[in-house]
Amino acid sequence: MRIILIGPPGSGKGTQAKRIVDKLNIPHISSGDMLREAVSNETPLGKEVKSYMTKGALVPDNLVIKMMVERIGQPDARSGFLLDGFPRTLTQSEALDKALLTTNVRIDYVLLIKVPDEEIIERNTGRRIDLKTGQIYHLKFDPPPAEIASRVIQRDDDLEETVKYRLEKYHADTEPLIPYYEKQDLVRKVSGVGSLEEVKERLFKILVVS
């Protein structure tokens, strides 16, 4: 099964991606992880990517697409894969489709995890991390024990202005993918509101796994 997973930042996408790939025994292909790995392994593409990253510039779509096609062509992805963090824009979606045509591979599902903006903001801004242990808490849903409450901090990524900016980017850049894939009858929408287990069951129901 070949899947693209889409959802706003803080929707639980990463957690659910792991559950899906574990259940289906397919590779989890994250564009960010792949870029870092290519740079670390000093592959020819990795060296090109590094030249952009060291300048603080965005890696061009054509390079990311090349890496994606190269990764999808590896033996462990022959029976399926889950794409996470890619495509992020309509341009990337169109380029990916063209590239996949040459490899005779077709996407089966585009899974969309839907969570209202106000809940995303609450989830993210309420998070706190204990720098001593790395444990993450939430002021409302999973408060830190009283004895360590004074040492937990809020990460910059979880500041309200940062969360709102990331949501704006998601709505502007990634949401246009939804009608694009809806025209191909690939989109399956799932509510991301509720427990992790409830969301997992909704996703598994679509994928017809138990």
What is the torsional sign of CA 14, 19, 22, 25?
A: negative
Catalytic, out of 13, 71, 200, 202: 13
Q: Can 151 be counted among the known catalytic residues?
A: no
Catalytic, out of 19, 50, 66, 88: 88
Do 169 and 92 touch, CB atoms closer than 8 A?
no
Q: Can 78 be counted among the known catalytic residues?
A: no
Catalytic, out of 71, 123, 127, 202: 127
Q: Can 188 be counted among the known catalytic residues?
A: no
Q: Can 155 be counted among the known catalytic residues?
A: yes
Q: Can 189 be counted among the known catalytic residues?
A: no
Burial 44-78 (b: 16+ CB within 10 A, else e): ebbebbbeeeeeeeebebebbbbbbbebbeeeebe
Catalytic, out of 2, 36, 114, 166: 166
Catalytic, out of 78, 98, 106, 155: 155
143 upstream amide cis, omega within 30 of 0: no
Nearest residue to 24 (alpha-carbon basis) of 74, 87, 81, 76:
81
- Catalytic positions, please? 13, 88, 127, 155, 166
